[in-house]
Amino acid sequence: MEHLESVPGRLRCGREALAEMLDREPSRLRVAVAFVTMSGVRILNEVLEDWSGELELVARGAPITQPAALDSLLESGASIRAVVGKRASGFHPKLWVSEGVTGMEVLSGSGNLTEGGMSSNDEQFELLRIRSDEEKQVLAQRTRIETLLGYGVRIEDIRGGRYWKQWIEVERKTNELKTRMVELENGLATTAGTPAEHAQLYVDLLAIYEKAKAEVRIAAEDGSERPYIATRFKQAIDRGRREGTLVPVVSRIVNGPTEGFGRLAEASRRDLMVETLVIDPYKPYHRLFTEKTKKAAQANLDLYDRDYGGREIS
């Protein structure tokens, strides 16, 4: 038995390790994982695009594995099984075994067949090579993967039945719950700040408004120049202060850049953009903004830096 690769290492993720396995063009690939999602299936399909061998897969049933993901694999011609009943809750392998004329390769690690497990998470994998003449080792790995495959039932035997329908309903309700949880977390983030944090945010926003009015000039209708007075911005932050919704007000501005962003960009005044407040980790209110809003703020500033950065006035 030969140890080929470790992840992380030369190979950075499970996807790259799987691609390495298939470079030897095995005739069969057998997989046992706990969870399978559509994002994982998309990765698998990309890796298997030019491969014409036999695929067998077993995964845990409800609730995390997505029925649509298994459906997709089944329709592509793969042999698919799901572990259901009492055994399902404890089914948690991540094992990939490929076989070809010259031998067998075994990939095992921590990642499931999901986008995170195969690509974006920090997972670990080991890729081993077993020659065809190492009969004892080949038999041991065959027995291992066949045992795991044997825990599952064929998707064709449960597809469309009561269990399958309940599984889909559980997935729907779980997704609804996740959406609601995100909404609640966002709500908590915008209302849990201390009075001092909200007060400081208003002071900083007001400072941006006053400085823009004093230092930024824009074209008037008659061709002359006039001070840039962001009236609607001032009205919005004043209302947010009164109603206790200042963080959502700023979030809306960032997630849907207003005319004001363009005005400040044309004036090369990055320092007066509310995005600079949102991404500043040293501001006491930084924690009140969601990750989505922080990412949107950074994306807006990146766009500015790309298109206007060279003209910036310090």
Query: Is residue 313 over pLDDT 70?
Result: no
Q: Mean pLDDT of all residues in the chain?
A: 90
Domain ranges of the chain: 2-159, 162-192, 193-311
Higher-confidence residue of 30 and 120: namely 30
Q: What's the CA gap between 259 and 245, in Å, rounded?
A: 21
How does residue 297 score in pLDDT terms, banded at 50, 70 and 90? very high
Give the list of residues 6+ apart from residue 201 with CB closer than 8 angstroms, or none.
246, 247, 250, 277, 283, 285, 288
Query: Is residue 276 over pLDDT 80?
Result: yes
Query: Do residues 51 and 22 touch, judged by C-beta distance below 8 A?
Result: yes
Query: Is residue 312 over pLDDT 60?
Result: no
What tens digit of pLDDT does each residue of 114-140 get? 999 999 899 999 999 999 999 999 999
Report the pLDDT averaged over residues 249-254. 92
Q: Copy the structure tokens of residue 147.
A: 């045992």
What tens digit of pLDDT does each residue of 179-232 get? 887 777 666 665 666 788 889 999 999 999 999 999 999 888 788 889 999 999
Question: How much is the pLDDT for 262?
Answer: 85
Q: Which of 197-206, 275-284, 304-313 has the lowest mean pLDDT?
A: 304-313
How does residue 280 score in pLDDT terms, banded at 50, 70 and 90? very high
Query: Do residues 44 and 113 touch, judged by C-beta distance below 8 A?
Result: yes
Query: Do residues 222 and 192 touch, judged by C-beta distance below 8 A?
Result: no
Is CATH 3.30.870.10 the right assignment for the domain spanning 2-159?
Answer: yes
How does residue 143 score in pLDDT terms, banded at 50, 70 and 90? very high
Q: What's the CA gap between 142 and 145, in Å, rounded?
A: 5
Q: Copy the structure tokens of residue 97.
A: 């075994």
Query: Is residue 14 over pLDDT 80?
Result: yes
Please state the pTM of the whole predicted model: 0.60
List, in sequence order, every residue forming a beta bridge with 97; answer none if it has no partner.
30, 106
